[in-house]
Amino acid sequence: MSNTILTVNGVRREVASAPDTPLLYVLRDELGQLGPKFGCGLAQCGACTVIIDGRAVRSCVTPIDKVSGNVRTLDGLGSADKPHPVQKAFIEEQAAACGYCANGWIMNTVAILEKNPRPTDAELKQELAGVKCRCGTHMAILRAVRKAANAMA
Ligand code: FES
Ligand code: FES
């Protein structure tokens, strides 16, 4: 069986996992990308979101042999001393309790704002409806999303 080639955060990587392995497992277990999280495993919470060619993708239900294009993960988005504007807004608004869902909110927000730099609040809520937070941090999250949208507009 031949290895699968993935491009992750602009770097070509060869992975040994079976072709039907979910991208999330490969990112975390083989490639050390710990930004995406396992939440539901059923495409229902958004915790595992990555961006592939501008589209927010649930990596928990995406087999690696179906992946083409550059996979962007939270790990490649910004750094501690130079956070992405969306990460910066989440930090400033303290938009996390346990933080487990943060990857999903941040990556989905990045995908939305890159596609639509001036979304209305209604558009943001609609686009983010599939992302879940069990800690009830939604108000701070929405403030952070709006702040990021204003900063990136
Ligand atoms: S873990 Fe993928 S959507 Fe919940
Ligand atoms: S902050 Fe805990 S799940 Fe969202």
Which CATH number goes with the domain that contains 49?
3.10.20.30
Report pLDDT digits (tens) over 95-113: 999 999 999 999 999 999 9
Banded pLDDT at 1 (limits 50, 70, 90): low
Tell me how far the alpha carbon of residue 18 lies from the centroid of ligand 2, in angstroms: 31
Residues 101 and 148 in one domain: yes
Among 92, 94, 128, CA closest to 112: 128
- Split into its structural domains, the chain has a count of 2
State the CATH number of the domain containing residue 148. Answer: 1.10.150.120
- The pLDDT score that the predictor gives to residue 22 is 98
Count H helices and E strands in the chain, helices first: 5, 5
Q: How close is the Cα of 136 to the center of ligand 1, in Å?
A: 18
Is residue 35 domain-shared with residue 100, that is, in the same domain? Answer: no
- What's the domain range around 117? 85-152
> pTM for the complete prediction?
0.96
Give yes or no: residues 69 and 6 share one domain.
yes
Mutate to test the pocket of ligand 2, among 90, 91, 101 (most ligand atoms within 8 A of CB): 101
**Ligand 2: lining residues by beta carbon, under 6 Å:** 96-101, 133-135, 137
CB 73 within 8 A of CB 67: no
